Structure 1
């Protein structure tokens, strides 16, 4: 859930601003004061996987900056027996470590900022997350629904999910060629130069929660995670989703539920107030700065599935960026290759052959032919063909 809390808090502030004038004309006084409250979020894995804590600062409403990292902090995990583990800053504001931890002990997270201010979490008891029993999909008239099913127990009743999506897409016009300025000729692209097949990723900042105690035998059946609408490019060729399931305590569940209600149901008279959002991280000083955030720990569970276009066929798709992509009608003759292609704004696509001799190429814009402008042509390490 890296940076998810920052995204939600800023979205909530903007929603409050706009909705304040829904019924009657009203010009709210919006302060540009930078409160710069510390935001802490993360999950500590006890089974040897990478644990990640993100430290950042809140933004003024009119600030377009999406993430203000709090760098240079000292982040320490302490056990009730006195053992300590130090997090390393893998990138600005992101602190990670990997360790196998005793599931039967309690822990606290200690944060010391470069200015000397200290913060401490409440005592945390790890929760072992049950396995995901099913991760599947259903196609209906509205598109494709991806769902998860699981079964809770007495120790694990409150669940939180996040996910990562990856998919293949193609540009509007496919080209296998490029202009080589060294030879001043058009050549075939090598495998690592391909621009006609790319991958795109998405980490969606939606809050997905469920209380298993609401259901018979603590069984959660087909909880919707993602809705892929008709004509989405995600199912153009091959799509993958990795879902991570985490069992959390009631305090953590309530924290994220308040955020969910404020972000999804903003404006309702019965919605929880944003002022109720606090978390389990507090300043060590009696009158210290306010902190927003929640850190929990345990052993998570994850699962990945792939969906091919033929699994949901027919699937007509639409990519707005390629709506008006077409091949140029005129042929770029050999003598004009350097003039037409050296800038890279236009690329050769289809050779024009007279009898057995190539006399030139029909071309298209780079925006229409180069998928790396919207994604990457490097296959993800996990990807299975």
Structure 2
């Protein structure tokens, strides 16, 4: 959920003005002052999984600026016994650490930014997350629904899920050939040169929450996580989803619920007004220094499933980028290979053979044949065929 808090906070003030305005046309006066409020987001896994803390700054509403990572900070975790663990900046604004922590202790996250401001979280008590009981899917006339089932307990009643989607797709026109600038001929592509099968990922999932106490025996049955509509390219070949389940406390649940409402429910005159969000991080050496965000701690649980095209067949699909893709009618003769293929804007696709001799190729544009323009041809490390 990286960048989600920052993006929502940036728009809250503008949305509030529009939603409470009158019916007459109105151009609000929105300050362009750069408040640069620190935004903190993260989950510390006590079971040895990678823990990440993301630090960023808010942007002025009309600045057009996106994610503004906070680099160069000192981030550490301190237990009630005084032991400390330092987080390393693994990428700009993202601080990581892997360790096994005692579930019976309380902890606080500390942050020292380059401008000299120090921040400290409220004390955190780790929560052990129950295992995922079922991760599955249901197909109906509207598409495919991915769902999860789990069972809470007295210590774990509030749940937060996030997920990663990956899927295989193919370009509009498949080519197994490549122009060789040395021989001036057309060769079969090697495995590391293939562009007719790629993987794509979803990096910005929505906020999914549930209070298990609402249900009998704290049992959550088939909570919808993802809806894949008909004609989506995600199910044209093979699809995978990994879901991470976290049990959180009520304070963290309320924080994410406010954020979810601000993100998902705003949009009409009867929608809830944007709510102010703060979190469990506080500045300790600067009066009036604002900070927004939440850090929680515990042991998460995860599960992955795969869905093949034949599992949901027949599956109609439509890929807008390939709507008008087709083979050129004319043949590119051998003598013209270099002129037509050297720039890479057009690629050889189908050999034209007279008797037993290849005299040329029919071609198509790179946009229609090269799937790496929209994804990667490198198989993910976790992928199972």
Q: TM-score, normalised by structure 2?
A: 0.97
Structure 2 partner of 1:260: 260
Displacement of 1:12: 4.3
Residue 286 of structure 1 and its aligned partner are, at CA, apart by 5.5
| Cα offset, 1:80, TM superposition | 0.1
In 2, distance between residues paired with 1:301 and 1:253?
Answer: 17
Match of 2:272 in 1: 271
Native 8 Å contact 1:349 1:361 kept in 2: yes
Aligned 8 A contact 1:258 1:272 in 2: no
8 Å contact kept, 1:4–1:205: no
Pair 12,359 (structure 1): closer, same or farther in 2 beyond 3 Å: farther
1:378 aligned counterpart, secondary structure = coil
Identify the residue that residue 342 of structure 1 maps to in structure 2: 342
1:347 Cα shift?
0.3
**Where in structure 2 are the equivalents of 1:187-206 lying within 5 Å?**
187-206=187-206
Distance 1:4 1:253 in 2: 16
* Unaligned 5+ runs, structure 1: none
**Separation of aligned partners in 2, 1:62 and 1:178:** 46
Deviation of residue 141 (structure 1)?
1.0
CA distance in 2, matches of 1:324, 1:203: 28
Cα distance in 2 for partners of 1:62, 1:237 equals 41
Cα distance change on mapping 1:357 and 1:18 into 2, 3 Å: farther
Task: State the shift of 1:60 in Å.
Answer: 1.4
Contact 1:37 1:57 in 2 (8 A): yes
Give the match's secondary structure for 2:285: coil
Distance in 1 (alpha carbons) for counterparts of 2:348 and 2:319:
22
1:77-96 paired onto structure 2 within 5 Å: 77-96=77-96
Whole-Å separation in 2 of the counterparts to 1:45 and 1:268: 40
Pairing of 1:1-385 with structure 2 (within 5 A): 1-10=1-10, 12=12, 15-16=15-16, 19=19, 23-266=23-266, 271=272, 273-275=274-276, 277-285=277-285, 287-385=287-385
User: Could you tell me how far apart the structure 1 residues matched to 2:198 and 2:371 are?
Assistant: 6
Alpha-carbon shift at residue 263 of structure 1 (Å): 1.6
Count of equivalent residues:
384
Give the superposition deviation at 1:34. Answer: 1.2
Comparing 204-213 and 295-304, the one that deviates more? 204-213
Structure 2 contact 196–369 (Cα < 8 Å) conserved: yes
8 Å contact kept, 1:54–1:93 = yes
Question: Does the residue aligned with 2:98 lie in a helix, a strand or coil?
Answer: strand
Asked if structure 1 preserves the Cα contact closer than 8 Å seen for 2:75 and 2:111, the reply is yes
Offset, 1:264: 1.8
Residues 109 and 158 of structure 1: CA distance in aligned 2, closer, same or farther (over 3 Å): same
Give the distance between the partners of 1:272 and 1:265, measured in 2 at CA.
9
Task: State whether residues 14 and 30 of structure 2, in contact with CA within 8 Å, keep that contact through their aligned partners in structure 1.
Answer: no
Q: Structure 1 residues 307 and 104 mapped into 2: Cα distance closer, same or farther (>3 Å)? A: same
| Cα displacement (A) at 1:25 | 1.5
Structure 1 residue ranges (4+ consecutive) displaced by more than 6 angstroms after TM superposition: none
Deviation at 1:62, TM superposition (A): 2.1
Please give the TM-score of this superposition, normalised by the length of structure 1: 0.97
Question: Aligned partners of 1:94 and 1:286: how far apart in 2?
Answer: 23
Q: Residues 365, 166 of structure 1: CA spacing in aligned structure 2 closer, same or farther, 3 A cutoff?
A: same
Give the secondary structure class of the aligned counterpart of 1:111.
strand
- Aligned-pair Cα RMSD in Å: 1.5
Q: Distance in 2 between matches of 1:32 and 1:309?
A: 49
Greater CA deviation, 338-347 or 198-207? 198-207
Distance 2:7 2:196 in 1: 33
Residue by residue over 1:190-217, the C-alpha shift from the partner in whole angstroms, topping out at 9 and shown as x without a partner, is 0000000000000233110000000000
Contact map agreement 2:16 2:273 (CA 8 A) in 1: no
Displacement of 1:35 = 1.1
